Amino acid sequence: MPNVSALSALVVARNEAAQLAACLDHLRFADEVVVLLDRSIDGSATIARDAGAKVIEGAWDLEGPRRNAGYEACAGPWILEVDADERVTPELSAEIVAALAAPKVDYFLVPMANHIGSRLVRYGWGAYNGVAAKPVLFRKGTKRVLGGRVHPKIELHGKSRTLENPMLHFVDRDFSDLFARLNRYTDLAALDARDAGRKPNVAHAFRRFWSRGWKSYIARRGYREGAYGIALALFSALYPLLIDLKLATLGDKA
């Protein structure tokens, strides 16, 4: 009889040799570990194989097909999706094992403890720079990621529940890394907007600059984080403005 609570841990990564070993070390409780590598040219494949993981290598331009290929490669009826910069704590792994022993839902939202460097930053995060919880534990077949290069839409089916213990998420190493991520994400989002046929609206995006900054710093209490809160507010405010500015100038590139 198949094990209905068997768990496949999935890591989708690209050139994450610096973080992959630590990530995989926290997934030993899973029945299977699958590492999908997208165009990786560092030592990620060797690290994954040395850790006993099943390795899938290939090339995907869009996040949806990449993630969905990872789901298909998992043999277990349950999938735990973990990024290389995330860590499953012993408390969370114990809660996952207990939850899957008699699951009454189809997917679980896992709280995220977002860090900049070694500092836990609790306030000021938003949808594009760090989420409070993610649906990363799910029955195979209940989650599908749609097209897009960054922040694609997700389709989920069935009932859900939120776990109590958080996953550690080391979002950025420092402020420089945070703003490099902002530049990288807005590059990809501008390409997605172009492919969708959206026209730039810089004036509208500029108006949103103020409302998004206020939401991050005041409504989400980023002011409690000092300089970190200011940085997150700037990230939130600049995100839509940079997308439209880049979208407006994509045709100017040689």
∠ Cα 31 32 38 (to 5°) = 155
Domain count across the chain? 2
Are 133 and 12 contained in the same domain?
yes
pLDDT in tens, 21-79: 999 999 999 999 999 999 999 999 999 999 999 999 999 989 999 999 999 999 999 99
- pLDDT given for residue 234 in this prediction: 96
Domain residues for the domain of 231 are 175-252
pLDDT at 147 > cutoff 90? no
- pLDDT given for residue 71 in this prediction: 98
Are 118 and 198 contained in the same domain?
no
Are 117 and 189 contained in the same domain?
no
Are 136 and 198 contained in the same domain?
no
Are 72 and 127 contained in the same domain?
yes
Are 184 and 243 contained in the same domain?
yes
Are 109 and 158 contained in the same domain?
yes
Gyration radius of the chain over CA positions = 19
* Domain termination site, one of 142, 165, 188: 165
Q: Domain holding 104: CATH number? A: 3.90.550.10
pLDDT in tens, 183-220: 999 999 999 999 999 999 999 999 999 999 999 999 99
In this structure, is residue 1 part of a structural domain?
Answer: no
- pLDDT given for residue 253 in this prediction: 57
Are 112 and 161 contained in the same domain?
yes
Are 193 and 234 contained in the same domain?
yes
Global pTM value: 0.92
